Structure 1
Amino acid sequence: MVVRPRNDIVEIFGYASDDLSPIARQAWANRHCIFIGATCTKTNHDGSEVYGACSVTSMGEDCIICPNRLYAGNYQILVDVAADAFGPGLPVRSYSDYINLRQQGSSEVCVVALGQKSGKEVKLGRQLSMDWVLAKVSGRTLLGYVGVEVQSIDITGNYRDNWASYRDLPYSQNSIIQASGHGMNWANVHKRLIPQLIRKGLIYSRSNHVTSGLYFLLPEIVYRRFETVIGADIPIEREASPDNMTVFTYGLAPTVPHGCIRGLVPIRKLRFSLEEFSSRFVAGSNLPSGGELDAAVLRGLN
């Protein structure tokens, strides 16, 4: 029996970290990400080791830490967005499939995904890159598009010893797994993620072809951290609009037998105005008071 720690890696290369089935260990050997059908991009700092960590524990919950993990089911989350933005039933095509159809003279109405490994990533200037653009087209005619941002969460510290315990598990007599030293970089929500969403959302809202604004896809546990900044009571909009942002949150399905992959479960859909989101971030529904700042300064002087 493997004794696992509380602070732990949950999935490695898509499988439970203690999964010793042949298919799981083959994924280890190939450094293969089943979710994007390519070599895993989760490496150490110098790129010498591919860790393959998809999710870890955080405060007693499983938390996805690699955005590629959200592409389970052949990028089903993009199909979810296309159905919400343009209506159900439209096929979602990769860029290469779309070009093939176009060369055959097809004028099929479909949704083309522009982004990771699908055509050219949409970039504005040197610093602003859009994760995905889903474009509704008929042949060569653009009928509309929406932006999609996909985020997980970065970690602090490292899980090196924990990961090595699982790597060596088939060859070791020691069934006690070393605890992971990771934490969660929640500060990134304030420092990077929210400002980035506001900037990109404003750009999409000014387009002549965008009708449904920006979509934001992320793990439920991470979005709850956003709610500590903007509040959980943000007014919900019913109708799509260029000035709105729509949030889809996801979680991992219950554990499955070894040799199998846990599913991705949709949890919440929220739509609210970008202006409200921005003003709440600036105002800070949970900002400390001026009195708390005064007390902190006085403590620093003592």
Structure 2
Amino acid sequence: MVPLPRHPLAEVFGFPTTNFSAEAERHRQLKLCPFHNHVPTCTKDKAEQPLGVCSVFEGSNIVITCPIRFRENWLAIRDAATFFFPPGAQWTVLSEVRLNDRFGQSAGNLDFVLAAYDHLGKIIDFGALEVQAVYISGNVRAPFEQYMADPQQRANMDWSRQRFYPRPDYLSSSRKRLAPQLLYKGAILSSWGKKMAVAVESNFFATLPQMEETAPEYAEIAWLIYDLQYREQENRYHLTRTRTVYTAFQTALTKIITAEPGHLGDFLQLLQSRLDSKRENGDRQKSLFQLSEPHEWEED
């Protein structure tokens, strides 16, 4: 197992920070993406000065923070095709396909559409694959630029005491990205009777509400769950599917978009403490309001 560093960077331009092979050095120098970006170079955040961080450490876990990272060996594409189509089907893949609602308004772009076709090239079925990486809170560019200034000397730099240490933001990833994808894109696909696959990494999936599973033949959504597994002989991480969870569309959507309420008593306690604080600080006239005169309700 690779020793855990004291900084957040797991992979930079596709390689661990401690990998100084000729291939890794070339990717760092030329800012290359080894995971099938639409151009040879990394374009994350800024095309001219890309943020070449593919994944970060969270304790002993490795969390994928770039959606392009899921394209390694086109594994997620092949796994989605297995869910969408029967064995032996002919299919191809299209990326960034615009999806409109009935009014012609965009519901967003589908990351990938897999289309099956017959011997004449006519499309006979399709399914959509959405890829969900994890957002980051804090500043990941600062340690990235610090490392890139001198990779050999800073491969094991200590970033643990720096302000705004970057960490995975699972809640934003689900509420701001995943939930809208299911709500808009997924709803359209479901109304058409088409299947959807969602590629996520295992740490993120573990933070989602537990969803009721169904048999693959009845499923509308396949959750393709991946990890990055370290291969010591290569000093590299490789995308590996560890599990597939099959669900119906509506039950999964309801689980993800419905917040689990906390205890009412805890919220009342918070309100009471805020009120007490205002009273103790002498803000009674500014913050507390009452009717100047009693009001009598009249009944007809």
Task: State TM-score, norm by structure 1.
Answer: 0.78
Match of 2:117 in 1: 137
Separation in 2 of the partners of 1:129 and 1:171?
Answer: 40
Assess, with a 3 A threshold, how the Cα gap between structure 1 residues 147 and 235 changes in structure 2: closer, same or farther. same
For residue 235 of structure 1, the aligned residue among 174, 188, 212 is 212
For residue 137 of structure 2, the aligned residue among 135, 156, 162 is 156
1:16 is paired with a residue of what secondary structure?
Answer: coil
Q: Which amino acid in 2 is paired with 1:129? A: N
Separation in 1 of the partners of 2:32 and 2:48?
Answer: 15
| Contact 2:6/2:156, CA 8 A, preserved across alignment | no
CA-CA distance at 1:15 after TM superposition: 0.8
Match of 1:101 in 2: none
Separation in 2 of the partners of 1:80 and 1:171?
Answer: 37
| Contact 2:182/2:253, CA 8 A, preserved across alignment | no
| Contact 1:7/1:182, CA 8 A, preserved across alignment | no
Deviations 1:159-194 (A, max 9, x none): 23422343233564x675141621222221124322
Assess, with a 3 A threshold, how the Cα gap between structure 1 residues 171 and 112 changes in structure 2: closer, same or farther. closer
Separation in 1 of the partners of 2:136 and 2:65?
Answer: 7
| Contact 1:253/1:265, CA 8 A, preserved across alignment | yes
2:92 is paired with a residue of what secondary structure?
Answer: strand
1:14 is paired with a residue of what secondary structure?
Answer: coil
Greater shift, 138-147 or 24-33, is seen at 138-147
Assess, with a 3 A threshold, how the Cα gap between structure 1 residues 134 and 27 changes in structure 2: closer, same or farther. same
Q: 1:59-70 to 2 correspondence within 5 Å?
A: 59-70=59-70
Greater CA radius of gyration, 1 or 2?
A: 2
Assess, with a 3 A threshold, how the Cα gap between structure 1 residues 148 and 164 changes in structure 2: closer, same or farther. same
Separation in 1 of the partners of 2:158 and 2:203?
Answer: 25
Assess, with a 3 A threshold, how the Cα gap between structure 1 residues 87 and 22 changes in structure 2: closer, same or farther. same
Match of 1:184 in 2: 168
Task: State TM-score, norm by structure 2.
Answer: 0.78
Separation in 1 of the partners of 2:32 and 2:22?
Answer: 14
CA-CA distance at 1:48 after TM superposition: 4.6
Assess, with a 3 A threshold, how the Cα gap between structure 1 residues 289 and 158 changes in structure 2: closer, same or farther. same
Unpaired segments of 5 or more residues in structure 2? 278-300
Match of 1:295 in 2: 269
Match of 1:219 in 2: 201
CA-CA distance at 1:135 after TM superposition: 1.0
| Contact 1:134/1:147, CA 8 A, preserved across alignment | yes
CA-CA distance at 1:283 after TM superposition: 4.2
Separation in 2 of the partners of 1:251 and 1:4?
Answer: 17
| Contact 1:155/1:184, CA 8 A, preserved across alignment | yes
Unpaired segments of 5 or more residues in structure 1? 91-109
CA-CA distance at 1:4 after TM superposition: 6.6
Separation in 1 of the partners of 2:152 and 2:237?
Answer: 26
Q: 1:95-134 to 2 correspondence within 5 Å?
A: 110-116=90-96, 121-124=97-100, 125-134=105-114
CA-CA distance at 1:198 after TM superposition: 2.8
| Contact 2:66/2:134, CA 8 A, preserved across alignment | yes
Q: Which amino acid in 2 is paired with 1:214? A: M
Match of 1:199 in 2: 184
CA-CA distance at 1:240 after TM superposition: 3.5
Match of 1:72 in 2: 72
Separation in 1 of the partners of 2:82 and 2:132?
Answer: 20
| Contact 1:161/1:179, CA 8 A, preserved across alignment | no
Corresponding position: 1:244 with 2:217: no
Q: Which amino acid in 1 is paired with 2:263? A: S
Separation in 2 of the partners of 1:178 and 1:23?
Answer: 25
Corresponding position: 1:42 with 2:18: no
Match of 1:22 in 2: 22
CA RMSD of superposed structures (Å): 2.4
For residue 268 of structure 1, the aligned residue among 225, 228, 243 is 243
Q: Percent identity?
A: 22
Assess, with a 3 A threshold, how the Cα gap between structure 1 residues 170 and 14 changes in structure 2: closer, same or farther. closer
| Contact 1:83/1:89, CA 8 A, preserved across alignment | no
